[in-house]
Structure 1
Amino acid sequence: MMRKHLFYRGRSLDRDLRSLYEDRGRLPDMSKLEHEYHRRTTRILLSIIGILVLLTGASWAGFLIFGSQSQSNVEAELAFEAPRVAMSGAPLEVDLRYRNQDKNPLGTVTVSLRPPQGLTIQETEPASDEKGRFQWNLGTLGVRTGGSIKLKLVPYGIPGDRLALQAVMAYKPANFNAEFQTVANQEIEIKDSSLQASINGPSELSPGQEATFALNYENRSDAILQNIRVTPQFPATFSLASGTEPREGFWKIDSLGAGERGTLDIRGAFLSTASGTNELKVRFEVSEENETLPLLEAVAPVNIKGGNLLIELIANNNPDLRFVRLGEMLNFKLKLTNIANEPKPDIFAELVVRSSLLDWRGALGEVAAISSEANTIRLPKEGKVSIEAGKAAEQDFSIRVAPSALPTAQPTIEAEAKVMMGEAVLQSNKVKIFVVSDLTVAAEGRYFGADGVAVGSGPLPPRVGEETRYELRFTLTNSVHDLSNIVVTATLPPGVEWLNQTRADAGRIIFAADTREVRWSVPRMPVTTRTQSAAFKVNVRPGEDKRGSLLPLLSVTRAEALDSIVQITFSTDALGVYSSIESDPLGKGKGIVQ
């Protein structure tokens, strides 16, 4: 017989428990009771996370406040000792001083110089740690110690320009593990130039009246100026006399010693379109390595009076014509417009065309007298013309560009006209046209190769519902100038399938399925390589609607290239290719769908 435990009190114990847990006569639902110990654990974890967030925030705040504010606790000085004004092209001595004013040493000290464009650094003492970079690693800087970096600079600029020089000192205080920076700025204004220049000549001219202007210059500094460029910045209405134009777009002065002087004569005339005040301006610059640095600008105002006959010379009805091809015809038109209130009598003109690439034997000008020895055309052929007030007169002249040229031939054609009106001589605008290389492109379709072996397959002539494969070819030919960036493009018509079978002498062929464009790219084609070719294969399956007709295999082909001599991009085209494949001796005439 089992015995009850001594601590069990039966029903009296049940009544006691009910009195503890019963709420208004009902026992609680034990399945929905909350576990108190879980709530306490959550509160503890959240408290710990909150404390960590506060500590992290405090750490970052301390870093931001004490790590980035260079002037909070550390006194490090960096300053330039330099004049605020300077002379363009004249050497300038500058001290860059640094000092530790703090009570603690500064470690890993570096000073970097950031010169602006237009300021060159000739010498530094001490020398920078790395050539080409103006940075000095000073190591540790003791308490209340400092030093200086001596700089020999040459500022360049037009008077009125301002150059902003900057230096940065980076360091770490001994009692703080963070990097600080101190910045020094110095502005230098260009007040004058080491070079003095002036343009001296007539202050008033008539259109077409030729005049000479003396450009006088002098080096007023104690240093030698070298590699000086003198660039004309003349208005479009001023034309330099033939043979006086700078070859590279500027005149060059190799060296100009201290106190040395020089003169450059500028000869030319204002065009008939000039009126009012026109400025002749030249710019002096020093060429150093890969940059040009300004020294000075000289300006001379010239008043143009009495211009009432406008002269316009254009080629091929295009005032912006830049280039022509060998063998093309050049059509010059000289237009004279009288804007005065009275007639202009006794007018004739001389058109001068200079080039070794002109075929004077085929020159056309029924109203012109041609002198091929002097490259001159007189308009009109005989006598003179009169132009009524408010009216215009036109004279035409045509000449063909030579069909071929040697690679050494000068690739330019220059033309200008002088108009004689009584005792006055008026100058037209100048026309300069480049002659580009003789690049040609050919596009052809082949079924048989040159050896008679088939390079295509399938029925020939093509048949409805059956596949025929052709080989399409591009051929580039060039002999006058080196070419670069050559791109040949054509489009496959609908129904022509790209087979991704290609070959090329140079470059590569790609096909864009979305545009159906075939593109052959060749990086370079020197004149020593007269021809380049490429080929690819296509497939056609003509439908019933094509029976009895030729199939288009390729659209018009375009070749575009950069002429490396004249630096002009130009293009040439070839006709589309059809299933008649006329260039295939064995396959031609077999293109009509059966």
Structure 2
Amino acid sequence: MKKVFIGFLVLAIILAVLVGYFWFKNKNGKDLNAELAVPESVQIGVPFDLMVNISNDSSSVINEAEVSVILPESIVFIGDPVARSIKNKKVGSLKTGTLTQVSFPVLVLDGENSVHSVEAEISYIPGSIKSRFVKKIQKDFVVTDAGLFLDLITPTQVLSGETFETKISYENRSEILFDNVVVKVALPENVTVNSSSKTHTINSDGHLEFVLNQINQSDKGEITLSTTLIGQDNSLVEFLATANARFTGLNYQVSGKSAIITVAPSPLSIFIDLNDNLQAVSINQNLTYNLRYANNTNIDLRDVIIEAKLDGEMFDLTSLNTNGVLRSNDNTVLWNASIVPGLRNLAPGASGVLSFNIKTAPGYPITRLSSKDFLLKVLAKIESPTVPRTVAANKTIGVSQLTTKVRGATTVDTQAFFRDASSGILNSGSLPPKVGKPTQYTIHWLVKNYSTDVDDIQVKAFLGPNVRFTGVLKSNLEIEPEYNERTQEIVWNIGKISATRGVLTAPIEAIFQVELIPSISQISQAPILIQETSLTGVDLFTTQPINGKDQSINTTIPDDLTVTGSDGRVTE
């Protein structure tokens, strides 16, 4: 009866709350009303007030009202960091019939000619009810163009080494004054600025900065750069210009424009190939680079110079074999007419091939955890002071770059011990092993991974005849080896290993105990405890397969220095 009474009591309380709520709604007729007010259209980079209008249309006081505005990524609260997307303001109590406005100054940074949406939430406590209510509202509006218009004008295509104009034009198309305006121009490393129509500085990112200060309504202007681009044939180069203005002490990017330039095929071309277009190379590997050049013009090109710059820690410069001259201060190989007479005057349509041989380093220069993903880069350049009449340059230049990945390496070292106290595993039996008597050994697998991240690493091996796994094992990974008793195969599915694991840190290790019971046919022999160990996986940097192995181990167990040669041969 007591449980039934409690149940009725709980139900009565719930019904009372529901009745009270609907009574409040019916008694007051109307509750809190709210709407978002924004201009029908706004410009990018022009501040405006986002207004939240709140009215208390009930017959009771509304308490502890708060307004939260939620902005999409393209809109920011003026005076706050760009990352802030939610802002709260307290309203407090609202008497019956009260209308109040809450203002949020905001700025649109992106999304030209599109519809944007903002949301607001008003939380409050109506009348004498203690529960907090939340009202959600939303408003769409149109974003037109940028208030501070910015344009970036470049040729769509230029020759490598050609000088051309880059123009950045700006115009205030809004009804406000833009203050503390700074135009930034980001240029690739292979672009040189020869001159500029306005004074500029270089910031910490290597970008050009033009301080324009105030730009009044309808003001316009232009910045002209003389630029030279050196790049590979058919490569794409991006120029980027942005305008920043200050509002309430913070700078915001209010406009931006980018341009893509294609490097046209050079009149003097050069291309690089490596060992039949190898995609990846290994340590201590012989490499042959070929530089193929050609005069694609209808005029003679005189005093041609060809150079190949070698960039990468994995080049073994001591192994370089070439008829060119190595310039040691920047590891560049050079050829000119003193070495190749045909370069004195390269006739129209003439071509040739220059080669050099070099080896990769015998090991990886790993000194820190970030010593990974090594690359070999060769930047080839050919140039002549002769310039075709149609080209606006002071020399004719062709460039080419070849980047090759260096494979990593993952190794497994198999070791065996009879006396192995440091492992914490006690082996029993006699040395030398005796026919029909069990002798136990511990097998160690030590895995090292060098210069690349790898995955799907699997280590496996078969045990020798008359050898079994005792079930005792240890590993410094959560994943342990597994044994198939029917096939005598032990398999360790390690999975992913980070670069330098086992080189700068302790190797990945598994230790497992095996037991040999020699047969009479093995007298005077050193039976195999574990056959050849294999390792397979995938190099995540080069996407190529990994293969490794270590030799089989017999009962002479060379890694255990306490065991002599005779201790490893079976006796009766």
Bin the TM-score by the shorter chain. 0.5 to 0.7
User: Which has the larger displacement, 172-181 or 533-542?
Assistant: 172-181
Alignment of 1:418-457 (within 5 A): 418-420=381-383, 425-432=396-403, 442-448=413-419, 456-457=427-428
Residue 433 of structure 2 is aligned to residue 474 of structure 1: no
Deviation (angstroms), 1:472: 0.7
Match of 1:555 among 533, 536, 551: 533
Deviation (angstroms), 1:455: 6.5
Alpha-carbon displacement from aligned partner over 1:179-225 (angstroms, at most 9, x marks no partner): 4624131435151154735345x56533x334355464779663446
Q: Which amino acid aligns with 1:501?
A: L
CA distance in 2, matches of 1:62, 1:387: 100
CA distance in 1, matches of 2:226, 2:412: 48
Aligned residues: 499
Match of 2:229 among 268, 283, 306: 268
- Residue 84 and residue 496 in structure 1: after superposition, are their counterparts in 2 closer, same or farther (change >3 A)? farther
The corresponding residue for 1:536 is: 511
Identity of aligned residues (%): 12
CA distance in 1, matches of 2:495, 2:483: 15
User: Please, what TM-score do these two structures have when normalized by structure 2?
Assistant: 0.63
CA distance in 1, matches of 2:545, 2:203: 27
Deviation (angstroms), 1:536: 0.9
Q: Which 5+ residue runs of structure 2 have no aligned equivalent?
A: 1-14, 195-201, 216-221, 246-250, 389-395, 485-489
The corresponding residue for 2:469 is: 497
Residue 365 of structure 2 is aligned to residue 398 of structure 1: no
Q: Which 5+ residue runs of structure 1 have no aligned equivalent?
A: 1-57, 125-130
- 8 Å contact 2:44–2:255 — kept in the other structure? no
- Residue 173 and residue 379 in structure 1: after superposition, are their counterparts in 2 closer, same or farther (change >3 A)? same
The corresponding residue for 2:341 is: 383
CA distance in 1, matches of 2:332, 2:444: 49
- Residue 76 and residue 450 in structure 1: after superposition, are their counterparts in 2 closer, same or farther (change >3 A)? closer
Match of 1:96 among 35, 45, 52: 52
Match of 2:289 among 332, 346, 364: 332
Q: Over aligned residue pairs, what C-alpha RMSD do you find?
A: 6.1
Alpha-carbon displacement from aligned partner over 1:13-72 (angstroms, at most 9, x marks no partner): xxxxxxxxxxxxxxxxxxxxxxxxxxxxxxxxxxxxxxxxxxxxx99x99999999xxx9
Deviation (angstroms), 1:476: 4.3
The corresponding residue for 1:151 is: 104
Q: Which amino acid aligns with 2:321?
A: L
Alpha-carbon displacement from aligned partner over 1:75-118 (angstroms, at most 9, x marks no partner): 61222234621233x54433322222445544554422111112
Residue 44 of structure 2 is aligned to residue 87 of structure 1: yes
- Residue 187 and residue 442 in structure 1: after superposition, are their counterparts in 2 closer, same or farther (change >3 A)? farther
The corresponding residue for 2:7 is: none
CA distance in 1, matches of 2:434, 2:204: 64
1:510 is paired with a residue whose SS is coil
Structure number with greater Rg is: 1
CA distance in 2, matches of 1:383, 1:306: 25
Deviation (angstroms), 1:417: 1.3
The corresponding residue for 2:213 is: 258
CA distance in 2, matches of 1:78, 1:587: 88
CA distance in 1, matches of 2:481, 2:252: 48
Q: Which amino acid aligns with 1:169?
A: I
CA distance in 2, matches of 1:65, 1:388: 94
Residue 550 of structure 2 is aligned to residue 576 of structure 1: yes
Q: Which amino acid aligns with 1:414?
A: K
Match of 2:240 among 266, 282, 285: 282
- Residue 264 and residue 407 in structure 1: after superposition, are their counterparts in 2 closer, same or farther (change >3 A)? farther
Q: Which amino acid aligns with 1:116?
A: P
The corresponding residue for 1:118 is: 74
Q: Which amino acid aligns with 1:556?
A: S
CA distance in 2, matches of 1:319, 1:267: 32
Alignment of 1:244-255 (within 5 A): 251-252=206-207
The corresponding residue for 2:158 is: 205
